[in-house]
Structures are given as C-alpha cells and as structure tokens.
Amino acid sequence: MTKTIAVIAALDTKGSEAKLVCDVIVAGGCRAHVIDVGVLGEPTISADTTRADVASADDEDIAALVAAGDKSRAMAAMTRGAAVVAARLYAEGHIDGVIGLGGSAGTAIATSAMRALPIGVPKLCVSTVASGDTRAYVGTKDVTMMYSVVDIAGINRLSVRILTNAAGAIVGMVNTEPPTIADKPLLAASMFGNTTACVDRARKALEDAGYEVLVFHATGAGGQTMESLIADGFVAGVLDLTTTEWADELAGGVFSAGPTRLEAAARAGVPAVVGPGCLDMVNFGGRATVPEKYQDRNLYEWNPNVTLMRTTPEENAELGRIIAERLNLSQGPVTVLLPLKGVSQLDSEGNPYWWPEADQALYGALKANLRADIPVVEMPNNINDPEFADRAAALLLAMLKK
C-alpha cells in the first residue's frame, strides 16, 4: 500500500522548499499531502489542506486573521489548527507520517501537529532551531529534529542536500515495518545513571515473569513521557524507583518533569512501587551553569556537561512531604520502598553524597505525611544492592497478580 506523508510548511515563504520535499517523497514511492500553515503572503504552490482549512480547525477565519495583521494571534491559531488537522487526517487514515519545515514559528506549528499524533507515527522537522534546546518542540513525543544548517529561505547547494536527505529519511521511516515482538503486558520503570544497576536487575525479573518493561531516563522529558503513557492507559504497572526529577523541580535543576510528576499512576489507579532514587542530587549543565547561590554546595562533575548538587536535609524533608502528597492521591495499590543505606550510587558509604542524616530527613517527612494505608517497606541496603532490586520487583509482581 502506498504511504502518504503530510508536508507542513508556510507556502508563502517555504513553497519552493516544500515542492522539493514533495518531489523527493513522490520519487521515493510515497504520496505527499501538503498542509499550508502560512497566513500573510500568497501561497506559491497549491495545498491539499489549505491555510483556510487550518484556521477553520481552530474556529478562526483566515481572511479575518489576514485583515487583523496580528502575527502572534495568527501563529497561535495556526499552531492549534495544525494539531487538529494532523490528528484528524491520521485518525481517518489519510496520512502515515509527517515532515515539517520552518524557522522558529514554522517549527512551533509543525511540531504541534506532530505532538498530536501517537508515538510511533514517523515525525521529522527540518528546523533552523534544531541545534538548540528543542524540548518545547519535542515534548513527550518521538519527534525527530533535523538542523537545517542554513536558513530555510530558498534552494541552494546546501539546502537542496539537507532537504533531500530529510525527505528521504521520512520516506524510509514510513516504509519501514518494525519486527513483530510478543504482545506482553507493559510496565514502566524510571532509571538514572546512579540507579542503573537496581533497575536493570529488577527489569530482568519482571521480564522473566512475562512482562515487557519500558525504561524511561529520568531527565525531565523521560518522566513526562512516562506519566503521559500511564495516563493514556498503556501501562499495567509502574516501577518508579528513580524520582530524582522532583529534586530538580524543587531546586531549579535542568531535569524537572514538572509539578505533576508521580500523579498519573496515582490518579489512574495503576499499581506502583515507588522509591527515592537519586533524590540526593539536583542536575545542572557544565560547572559554569550552576547558579551562583549554589556554588558553595557539594557539587560533583558527573561529566563535562552534567554537574550534580547534593540535596540538603531541609530540601530532602520538603521532597518527602511533596512525594507523600502525590502518593496520597493513589486510587490503586502503591508501596513505598526505602533503601536505608543510600538512594544512589554516589550516596553510599565512602562516596561523595553519603549523608545518612539527609536521607533520614527525606524518609521521616515522607512517612509523617503519607496516608496511613500506604505501606512503607524499609530495606537495610543501598538502592543498587541486588536485594533491593529483587524486593522491588517482587512487590510489583505481587500487586499485579491480585
């Protein structure tokens, strides 16, 4: 069956580039469905979904947007409308993947449409801003960002190669079928470099018991993605042993997953085993990026691009209260598992973040604020000890079998 790829671009300014991409898509054996998200100028090529259609999807009139001359309003309308259009086209079986072209505004519009599509649908955005912080554009979806190198402003010897590569890539994506794997119940697990040994061992035990385990790196986006999949009903259980993103949310680190982290499983009633993995650390970039107010703290350069900061007893007490507050929302079974000999690889005896008083402040506040019916299991281990991982897996399996 011939696959169809949506091409999202403002056809008043990116018409020649969109045509090149369409030509490559067709040469690759696919169809192109052009979505025009321009507003102010006249389109230079025709569209399958016009700018009027996109504006209408947001209950706006394109003529009114043009007459108003308000770029901010127009961009907001086209961003929302593009997401509605893309979701509708995919749901109706009209598109199999999407490619977008743009600068900052075009990227915002195109990736809004991409984020409206399910994970697994091919998504690629050629963008002038793809070499910077793309978190706002990618969100929790599998959006591929490709740096345009030069501005997307006509066809030249560099842009022709880059756009051709991008079009070829999206053709390859939509025509590639993933191998079939066994259909098993899905579990979600959170992991960080400092809890890898624990989660890897627990994951194997869960997989041996017949489950498929999706592991999410607790880098902010990882936690958000995990929460999204739980909320969408994909996950039967959660091994949330690495809740470090809350430390970044509290202290202003770079790996915050936002203030709703830990709420999805609780609200959905999904069985969960929750641990305090890596709550001993806040993440920043290179040493020079650490805020001035933290320069006298216990800092550890994990690598040239990641500097860790040890949390204090006061911060840990607040984290304990916050986590208890989220877990108290639980509508289903949840168990808290505490490692009494440290919450990370660094927080073990003889290592830089070993601070039992700080860990106890965390545990004390958590237990003091936790609902009385939520079990707390304390283990005389570091979080990465085999015994801790085995107990975590066993507790979750017991919940899942009830």
Q: What is the pLDDT along the chain (402 residues), one digit of tens a residue?
A: 899 999 999 999 999 999 999 999 999 999 999 999 999 889 999 999 999 999 999 999 999 998 888 888 999 999 999 999 999 999 999 999 999 999 999 999 999 999 999 999 999 999 999 988 898 899 889 999 999 999 888 899 999 999 999 999 999 999 999 888 778 999 999 999 999 999 999 999 999 999 999 999 999 999 999 999 999 899 999 999 999 999 999 999 999 999 999 999 999 999 999 999 999 999 999 999 999 999 999 999 998 889 999 999 999 999 999 999 999 999 999 999 999 999 999 999 999 999 999 999 999 999 999 999 999 999 999 999 999 999 999 999 999 987
Return phi, psi of residue 113, to 5°: -65, -40
Q: How far apart are CA 189 and CA 224, in angstroms?
A: 12
Evaluate if pTM is beyond 0.75: yes
| Owner of token pair 């073990």 | 348
Q: What is the model's pLDDT at position 402?
A: 78
Listed in sequence order, the DSSP H helices in 139-262 are 157-175, 196-208, 221-231, 245-251
For the chain, the straight-line distance linking the first and the last C-alpha, in angstroms and rounded, comes to: 44
Side chain identity, residue 147: Y
Side chain identity, residue 171: V
Domains of the chain and any CATH numbers = 4-175 (3.40.50.12020), 186-400 (3.40.50.12030)
Q: How far is CA 255 from CA 49, 223, 347, in A?
A: 38, 9, 19
Q: What is the model's pLDDT at position 154?
A: 86
Q: What is the model's pLDDT at position 194?
A: 94
C-beta neighbour count of 93 within 10 angstroms: 8
Q: What is the model's pLDDT at position 112?
A: 97
| Owner of token pair 């920043």 | 284
Tokens of 5: 């790829």
Contact in structure between 96 and 5 (CB atoms under 8 Å): yes
Contact in structure between 311 and 338 (CB atoms under 8 Å): no
Q: What is the model's pLDDT at position 41?
A: 86
Q: What is the model's pLDDT at position 192?
A: 94
Q: What is the model's pLDDT at position 182?
A: 77
Burial 237-272 (b: 16+ CB within 10 A, else e): bbbbbbbbbbbbbbbebbbbbeeebbbbbbbbebbb
